[in-house]
Amino acid sequence: MENEAVQPKQYEGKVLPGKPYPLGANYDDDGVNFALFSENATGVTLCLFHHPDDNEEYAQIQFEEVTDYVWHANLPGMKPGQLYGYRVSGKYKPKKGFRFNPKKLLLDPYAKAISGRITVEQSMFDYTLEEGEKIKLHKEDTDSAPSMNKSVVIDTRFDWEGVKKPDIQMHNSIIYELHVKGFTQLHHDIPENERGTYKGLANPKIIDYFKELGVTAIELMPIHHFSHNKFLLDKGLSNYWGYNSIGFFAPHAEYAATGQNGEQVNEFKELVKAYHKAGMEVILDVVYNHTAEGNHLGPTLSFRGIDNHNYYRLEQEHPLYYTDYTGTGNTLNLLSSRTLQLVMDSLRYWATEMQVDGFRFDLASALARGLFDVGKLSTFLDTIHQDPIISQLKLIAEPWDLGEGGYQVGNFPVLWAEWNGKYRDSVRKFWRGDESQVSELAYRLSGSSDLYQDNGKLPSSSINFVTAHDGFTLHDLVSYNEKHNEANLEDNNDGEDHNISWNSGAEGPTDDPEIIQRRDKRKRNFLGTLLLSQGVPMISHGDEYGRTQQGNNNAYCQDSELAWMHWDWYENQHKLFEFTKKMISIRREHPILHPRRYFKNRKIQGEGVFDIRWINTDGNDMSQEEWDTSFIRVMGMMLNGELMKEMDEFGNDLKQEILLILVNSYWETIPFTLPKEGLAEEWEVLEDTSWEKNPDAPVHVNGVFELEARTLVLLRNVR
């Protein structure tokens, strides 16, 4: 029956009409107001539960009030901690895109907490599949409530103790990407029951670690409540990374140490407060491009069963199927005003109630798509720019998706920073020793002005990274030529094949001291380049000590020691940490390495460049012929801070100086004549990646500098 109704069990309390706004379950001292949007439903039933593992609800309330397609009711006297879900009635015509099935208990899209781990089971699928050449779905009548998670009513009030957001300027930021569980799961100094949790990440020892390292912000891989894919669970794996969101307002319950029935909300707030007290920011990696419900054969957990037509992009001619720009089976429909509202309400909630400092948008091109193409003036981007709260936070795009025309590096508008994939590829190619890379590297070192300057943007628009969660770790980048993803049980067919890596002479682990030394030096080169480049550096968790995933470049399903941080370091790992710490300190102490604006005379090629110069091995400006010569693998970038007047955000004049960065990816030492015109003859070596251990006393040089093979050097002119 298309208009199948649920026979309600008696609810003993009072039911008032309630209000259609705000959406979700909202508690005040008088009770709870419930509001759920569904344009195409014929009936909505609120189901109440005592415990997360209850097989059935103890009461049902059939909503009678509908305002602008929002179904609503108010339950006086109801308290925080109440568990609930929805059953939604309507058409079940999959070929026309209607998937209503009141036998399936559904999560509230606005739930601010969800009870426990979502393990997809067969009862959560709304169909049975008829065998044959054509796909035919028939309504499946098993009640999913016994295995389905429940939404939780919470009290959003929290004592922030007057702690304010640090409000660090973007150009002063140093971002550290991490996984909440993986970062602390093996940390010996954290109580065992707090490892892998929000509370563990807020432990003073972890905060002290970041303060010692010198980063300004942690970027958390997805902490919106997510589901574990059935196909992974069937293989004994799980969705470790968390790019499978189903609750855009709810902190993931598995990361809570103090309980999973609403307590996770305050535990996350305590984390944010602790980092803000320490002067650091918290950025969330958010996944609004798709949900955990997958394609047309996926489970029905929430959106599909509430209003499939509004929440998802369906193929216009065959609405059984989903338009998939994400590679996950579906794409959220931000052309729908209600779905756009959902995303904006979620962002504002995390910005205000949870006090986070910014967002990194996964596959952001999928969010910016109009009917077909990615548009810089899409409704989503326009809406964010007009929002007085969200527009003032750090907004970072992953500027690509899997659809045609989805690679949009350099095309997101002002206010947005971008993960700069061109930076990653250029730096990897140069330090691998590829030909024809110096011109490209020059742009990347100087803030990628070719991508951002003409758009009215700043160097901080470029989020520079060499590695991230997706792909090789830094150690594996210098240790493997090929991916080794056998542990993912997909016959090594998953993951990226184009890694731009070099194993330094042997594939994987080795005892060869020469290869080990070469790898350690190459890691220093990558980290040194990252932290000396204009733009905003992002360090992937564990790269500062050489974390390995044994060649696995797609550890999305590896919730194990393969992907977790290890805290028992050997000597070379301690040395790499100290090197990273020193490079971050150098970056922070020398503002010319992270200016707010591009250099005034910022042409990479040609004459008349004063505040930035590109130097050849003779100490002169690079010629056009040298830029075009494929075999050149060495150059210098000189930054003249005395000609680029900069002030900090308080109006104080910044220290002016002249720095010279030398890079050599040849396999032999190159004599490099240091520039002289208008400069002091003597230069101080601030860092040299060929040094295994920094000398105790400053090293000063003049004349010709012997630039060792595969080396980066930073010098300061002594004036």
pTM: 0.95
Point out the least confidently predicted range of 232-236, 389-393, 477-481: 232-236
Q: Tell me which amino acid residue 342 is.
A: L
- Walk across the sheet containing 699-701 and list its strands: 612-615, 634-640, 658-664, 711-717, 683-688, 699-701
State the Cα–Cα distance between residues 143 and 127, nearest whole angstrom. Answer: 12
CATH class for domain 600-717?
A: mainly beta
Residue 17 is encoded by which pair of tokens?
């009409």
Q: What percent of the chain lies above the pLDDT cut of 70?
A: 95
Helix (H, G, I), strand (E, B) or coil at 377: coil
Confidence of residue 1 (pLDDT cuts 50, 70, 90): very low
Residue 398 annotated to the active site: yes
Mean pLDDT computed over 243-268: 95
Burial 294-325 (b: 16+ CB within 10 A, else e): bebebbbbbbbbbbbbbbbbbeeeebbbbbbb
Supply the pLDDT for residue 413: 86
Domain boundaries, the chain: 24-153, 600-717
* CA neighbor of 358 nearest in space, from 585, 166, 556: 166
Q: Which residue is it, tokens 């091995």? A: 617
Instruction: Name the residue among 482, 500, 245 with its Cα closest to residue 363.
Output: 245
pLDDT digits (tens, 9 = 90+) for 467-479: 999 999 999 999 9
Query: How far is Cα 285 from Cα 222, in angstroms, rounded to an integer?
Result: 5
Angle at alpha carbon of residue 652, lines to 648 and 657, rounded to 5° = 80
Partners of residue 464 on adjacent β-strands: 537
CATH 2.40.50.140 fits 24-153, yes or no: no
Q: Active-site residue among 177, 219, 362, 476?
A: 362
Q: State the pLDDT at residue 377.
A: 45
Query: What local confidence, expressed as pLDDT, does residue 603 receive?
Result: 46
To the query of whether residue 307 is one of the catalytic residues in this protein, the response is: no
Q: Is the pLDDT of residue 375 over 60?
A: no
Between CA 26 and CA 151 the distance in angstroms is 12
Same fold, 24-153 and 600-717: yes
Residue 653: predicted pLDDT: 65
- CA atoms of 524 and 684, how far apart (whole Å): 19
What pLDDT band is residue 646 in, cutting at 50, 70 and 90? low
Across 656-678, average pLDDT: 94
Q: Please, what is the angle between helix 337-352 and helix 303-311, to 10°?
A: 120
> Any residues with CB less than 8 A from the CB of 392 and at least 6 apart, and which?
none
**What pLDDT score does 697 carry?**
84
Query: At 366, is the pLDDT very low, low, confident or very high (cuts 50, 70, 90)?
Result: confident
The alpha carbon dihedral of 331, 337, 339, 341 has a sign of positive
Catalytic residue among 140, 285, 357, 398: 398
d(CA 88, CA 310) in angstroms, rounded, equals: 14
What residues contact residue 17 under an 8 Å CB cut-off, 6+ apart? 64, 65, 72, 73, 74
Give one DSSP letter per residue of 352-413, joined into a string: HTS---EEEETTHHHHTB-SSSB-TT-HHHHHHHH-TTGGGSEEEE----SSTT---TT-S-
Asked if 312 contacts 336 with a C-beta cutoff of 8 angstroms, the reply is no
The answer to whether residues 200 and 184 touch, using CB atoms and an 8 Å cutoff, is: yes
What are the φ and ψ backbone dihedral angles of 192, each rounded to 5 degrees? -55, -40
Q: Region 643-671: what's the mean pLDDT? A: 81
- Written as six digits, the tokens of 674 are 């240091």
Helix (H) or strand (E) holding 73: strand 70-76
pLDDT band at 100 (very low <50, low <70, confident <90, very high): very high
**Banded pLDDT at 615 (limits 50, 70, 90):** very high
The pLDDT value recorded for residue 651 is 60
Q: How confident is the model at residue 260 (pLDDT cuts 50, 70, 90)?
A: confident
User: CA-to-CA distance for 400 and 641, rounded, in angstroms?
Assistant: 35
Answer for the pair 595, 171: CB distance below 8 angstroms, yes or no.
yes
Q: Are 223 and 284 in contact (CB under 8 A)?
A: yes
Which DSSP letter does residue 405 get?
T
Q: Is 29 helix (H, G, I), strand (E, B) or coil?
A: coil
Mean pLDDT of 620-633: 94
Identify the helix (H) or strand (E) that includes residue 424. Answer: helix 421-432
List the Cα angle 325/381/179 in 5-degree steps.
Answer: 65
